[in-house]
Amino acid sequence: KGLSGGRIIVKQPDAVTRDPTQNIIVGNTVLYGAIAGEAYFGGVAGERFAVRNSGAIAVVEGTGDHGCEYMTGGIVVVLGKTGRNFAAGMSGGIAYVFDEDGGFSARCNRAMVDVTPISAARDAEDGTGRPQQRGLDVHDFGMGDVLGHDAERLRILLERHLLHTGSARAKSLLDDWDAALSRFVKVMPGDY
């Protein structure tokens, strides 16, 4: 709860053979009220993941119910299934969800958010900043202008997740990037 900087990495031991997309590795209310920092979870999070997140960056392999509820900022990437009521009351931030089975829209609370595909086309440089692999400092994690550059940002976050957790899921998505990108969706408040 309340992450306010730094980097958290949680992964299963190398000798464990469970599928991380089917293994709950962190419990309920993880990143509740987080304001800054990075978190990489090589497994599934419980319910209410990143609720009231206002600035942290997180990558996880799946979530329980009510993920990103009341989120006001930050970036969340989900590489697996979500539970129901995802993004309820989400007024800020961005979530990228790998919609492998095409059923995410039914699990997302669309009252305040739009769910859109991610374009593979590279955005034109407009002086607002592209995402970068390395953060600039403790206040700037290198995500650039969050209103554009989605494919670049998402790829960078998957690369970071692979680096920190050794995620087989992230590796397989990166290995077939064009096909994987076509199955990701962006969840963003309509008021943006």
For the chain, give percent helix, strand, coil, nearest 5.
20, 30, 50
pLDDT along the chain (192 residues), means of 10: 88 89 91 94 96 95 97 96 97 96 95 92 67 69 77 96 96 97 95 77
Which pLDDT belongs to residue 125? 64
Tally the C-alpha atoms within 13 A of residue 187's C-alpha that lie toward its C-beta.
Answer: 34
CA dist 94 and 91 (Å) reads 10
Q: Is 141 left (phi over 0), alpha (psi -120 to 50) or beta?
A: alpha
Which pLDDT belongs to residue 146? 75
Of 97, 126, 123, the C-alpha closest to 110 is 97
Q: Which pTM was predicted?
A: 0.93
Which pLDDT belongs to residue 136? 67
